[in-house]
């Protein structure tokens, strides 16, 4: 009996559907997806925009985070990742986050200096010794304070991700000694501290957004640039530059940010799951970025004719004195006493080496 009623209701439903949607039926279009019925009407979607390729440490970390969030929330939260500045470029993404056009972004820390000069700390040359040193600062009290720096502006920090050290490339000459920089034009990210670094070396800094890097290089808008191997590899910068110096002189990290109003609107049971997924991704990113940068350096060596120079400790001793004004510039603009002390200590260490 139950079976008969059920079947009759189904037949009535199909007849009614055909009556009200004759064109869909005739054109063979599939029935619309009923998300009420599937229990997806409450699904929360997080749009996560970034500017690099999918096969980079940041690109892979964003995808890993998306998978973990989906797993940990049993599909209640879906993270949609938009790589390659497909939605917003470097210049646009902070505004898009504030407007809640996207809910998450992960700009490089250098790009955060326009909001607060304290972020310039991360652009100081030779600030960190190795990946352990980076990880220990990022997880320290001083490092974690960066996450709350923009809460008054509606932006919450979820994590700081590391993509390891930047290297130098150039077309004019191999950069080994400070005088090798003189007169060259170097592409930089928007940061007064990075601009000062190249000026201190006698070069001209030129700001170019990441999505325009490849075309600017083809148009000969600059002679050299600094970046991690993963970005040099994924943007094929090595194909347009003659010399690569493994200098490990600078750090490239990312501020993983979420629109604060959106975050506050999330159900209480969901927030810890997202944070858990983020913490796992952050730990994974430290070793993953190192591995990718190491592997891709080997591929560059194999695939291209770029000349590679490894900066020796002796070479570094020549660079250090040049960077004193860069540290002084930061010390003049920093607000936090803790960061000031940290930068002063690092400058002293550099001077005594």
Distances (CA, A) of 307 to 48, 238, 239, 244, 246: 37, 10, 11, 6, 11
Binder to ligand LMR among 231, 241, 259, 289 (CB under 6 A)?
231
Please choose, out of 51-59, 81-89, 151-159, 214-222, the segment that lies near ligand LMR by the rule CB under 6 A.
51-59
> What is the pairing mode between strands 155-170 and 224-227?
antiparallel
- For residue 52, state whether it binds ligand LMR (rule: CB under 6 A): yes
288 binds ligand LMR (CB under 6 A): no
169 touches ligand LMR by CB under 6 A: no
Compare residues 52 and 347 and give the one whose CB is closer to ligand LMR. Answer: 52
Q: Given candidates 46, 51, 77, 278, which one binds ligand LMR under the rule CB under 6 A? A: 51
Closer Cβ to ligand LMR, 51 or 297, answer by number? 51
- Beta partners for 226? 168
When the beta carbons of 169 and 231 are compared against ligand LMR, the nearer one is 231
Q: The tokens of 275 are what? A: 């944070």
CB of 51 or CB of 347, closer to ligand LMR? 51
Closest CA to 329 of 196, 177, 234: 196
Which CB, 58 or 329, lies closer to ligand LMR? 58
Cβ closest to ligand LMR, residue 106 vs residue 155: 106
CB of 186 to ligand LMR, least distance (A): 12
227 in contact with ligand LMR (CB under 6 A): yes
Please work out the total of residues on this chain that contact ligand LMR, with binding judged by CB under 6 A: 8
In this complex, which beta carbon is closest to ligand LMR, that of residue 212 or of residue 318?
212
Alpha carbons 215 and 207: distance in angstroms, whole number: 14
> Does 167 engage in binding with ligand LMR (CB under 6 A)?
no
| Cα–Cα distance measured from residue 47 to residue 81, given in angstroms and rounded to the nearest whole number | 6
Stretch that binds ligand LMR, among 4-12, 50-58, 272-280, 310-318 (CB under 6 A): 50-58
- Identify which of residues 73 and 281 has a Cβ nearer to ligand LMR in the complex: 281
Q: Which of positions 196-215 make contact with ligand LMR (CB under 6 A)? A: 210
Restricting to residues 100-139, name those near ligand LMR by CB under 6 A: 108
* Nearest distance, CB of residue 108 and ligand LMR, angstroms: 3
Looking at beta carbons, which residue is closest to ligand LMR?
108
Nearest-approach distance from CB 230 to ligand LMR, in angstroms: 8
Binding site for ligand LMR (CB under 6 A): 51-52, 58, 108, 189, 210, 227, 231
């Amino acid at each position: 009996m139950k079976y008969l009623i059920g079947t009759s209701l189904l037949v009535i439903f199909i007849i009614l559907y055909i009556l009200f949607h004759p064109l869909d039926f005739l054109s063979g279009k599939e029935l619309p997806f009923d998300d009420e019925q599937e229990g997806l009407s409450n699904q929360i979607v997080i749009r996560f925009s970034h500017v690099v390729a999918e096969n980079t440490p940041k690109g892979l970390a964003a995808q890993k985070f998306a998978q973990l969030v989906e797993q940990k929330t049993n599909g209640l939260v879906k993270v949609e990742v938009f790589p390659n500045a497909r939605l917003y470029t470097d210049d646009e993404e902070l505004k898009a986050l504030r407007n809640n056009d996207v809910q998450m972004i992960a700009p490089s820390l250098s790009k955060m200096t326009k909001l607060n000069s304290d972020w310039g700390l991360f652009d100081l040359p030779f600030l960190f010794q190795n990946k352990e040193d980076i990880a220990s600062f990022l997880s320290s009290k001083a490092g974690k304070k960066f996450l709350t720096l923009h809460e008054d502006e509606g932006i919450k920090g979820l994590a700081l991700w590391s993509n390891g050290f930047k290297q130098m490339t150039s077309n004019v000459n191999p950069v080994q000694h400070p005088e090798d920089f003189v007169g060259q034009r170097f592409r930089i990210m928007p940061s007064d501290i990075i601009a000062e670094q190249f000026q201190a070396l006698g070069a001209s800094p030129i700001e170019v957004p990441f999505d325009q890097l490849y075309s600017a290089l083809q148009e000969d808008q600059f002679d050299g640039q600094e970046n991690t191997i993963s970005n040099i590899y994924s943007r094929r910068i090595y194909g347009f530059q003659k010399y690569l110096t493994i200098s490990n002189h600078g750090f490239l990290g990312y501020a993983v940010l979420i629109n604060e109003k959106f975050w506050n609107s999330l159900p209480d049971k969901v927030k810890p799951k997202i944070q858990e997924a983020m913490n796992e991704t952050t730990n994974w990113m430290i070793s993953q970025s190192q591995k990718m940068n190491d592997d891709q350096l080997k591929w560059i060596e194999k695939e291209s004719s770029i000349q590679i120079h490894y900066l020796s400790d002796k070479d570094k001793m020549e660079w250090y004195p040049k960077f004193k004004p860069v540290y002084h510039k930061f010390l003049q603009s920093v607000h936090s006493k803790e960061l000031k002390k940290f930068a002063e200590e690092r400058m002293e260490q550099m001077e005594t080496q």
